[in-house]
Amino acid sequence: MSTKPVSGTESRQYDRQDAWWIEPLFTVLSLGLFGVYALWVAWNRQHFEFGPYLSPFYSIPIPGVHAKDLDWLAISPAFLVLWIPLGFRATCYYYRKAYYRAFFWDPPACAVPELRKAYSGERAFPFVLNNLHRYFWYLSVPVVAFLWYDAIRAFFFEDGFGVGVGSLVMLGNVILLSYYTFSCHAWRHLAGGCLNCMSKHKTRYTLWQRITRINESHGFWGVTSMLSVWFTDVYIRLCSMGTITDIRLF
Ligand code: FES
């Protein structure tokens, strides 16, 4: 796409006076720090569990397998699952817009010129891999199902059912992740795409309408669920290290 301003819009494109750079700066910092943190957590292999709480980074989507059962592995068990949510987010339509703007300045904001002179779309490596998004969605659904299992388990302590602050943190996290996963554009297309006549497919139409409702805030779910995964791991880590005390509400 040309960076040349459209005739008659020069002042609007090149003289933008507002703080348009705040959003790409926030994106660079949040995505960059989260990426580094996620890799460090996976590499670290410690403090990922406290009582019934399990860090989402170490939730292995294999029935009956706990991350601790895989201590014998040469690599951290977190890497067995990490590539799925990272691939899902990296190929997500919302994140694509965010990182194309923030990291590649392509363009950095509306009405601000982009850096590169030519645009080849997503037809060449590595960005052609973004077309795998639908498959990452398929893989992410079982991951979310296992996170629900972990969140329910977080209400069962050694002395029975109870509610700790950590239980609520884990529950909030999986709710946000569910909203993010099930507001996905690819899922919306799966539910209601390729239909010539919606009225002949009432169930799919109803599902599509519901997805559309939460899809409108997909960016919000994308950001809040990323922050909640981060917060949940930090919370469990600090409890496990003895830095903070998990409060048992009842
Ligand atoms: Fe964002 Fe699918 S478009 S998760």
- DSSP secondary structure letters along 161-200: E--BHHHHHHHHHHHHHHHHHHT-HHHHHHHHTT-S-GGG
For ligand 1, atom 2, name the residue with the nearest CA: 184
Substitution site in 31, 84, 94, 221 for ligand 1 pocket (most atoms within 8 Å of beta carbon):
94
The answer, yes or no, to whether any atom of ligand 1 lies below 6 A from the CB of 92, is: yes
Burial pattern 133-149, b for ≥16 Cβ within 10 A else e, equals: beebbebbeebbebbbe
What pLDDT digit, counting tens, does each position of 137-151 carry? Answer: 999 999 999 999 999
Contact (Cβ atoms closer than 8 angstroms) between residue 57 and residue 233: yes
Confirm or reject: Cβ of 179 under 6 Å from ligand 1: no
Which residue's CA is minimally distant from atom 1 of ligand 1? 92
pLDDT of res. 235:
98
3-class SS at 49?
Answer: strand
- Check if 185 has its Cβ closer than 6 Å to any atom of ligand 1: yes
Q: Which tens digit of pLDDT belongs to each residue from 48-94? A: 999 999 999 999 989 899 999 998 999 999 999 999 999 999 999 99
94 lines ligand 1 (CB under 6 A): yes
Residue 189: name the closest of 132, 134, 127, 138 by CA.
Answer: 134
For the Cβ of 98 lying below 6 angstroms from any atom of ligand 1, the answer is no
pTM value? 0.90
- How would residue 128 be classed by pLDDT, with cut points 50, 70 and 90? very high
CB atoms within 10 A of CB 79: 13
Q: Is 93 in the pocket of ligand 1 (CB under 6 A)?
A: yes
- Tens-place pLDDT, residues 24-54: 999 999 999 999 999 999 999 999 999 999 9
- Per-residue model confidence (pLDDT) at position 15: 66
The three-point CA angle 100-26-217 to 5° equals 75
Percent of the chain scoring above 90 in pLDDT: 74
Q: b/e string for 214-238 if b means 16 or more Cβ within 10 A?
A: bbeebbebbbbbbebbbebbbbbbe
Q: Where are the beta strands (DSSP E) in the chain?
A: 49-50, 53-54, 156-157, 160-161
Ligand 1 lined by 218 (C-beta under 6 Å):
yes
CA of 79 to the centre of ligand 1 (A): 21
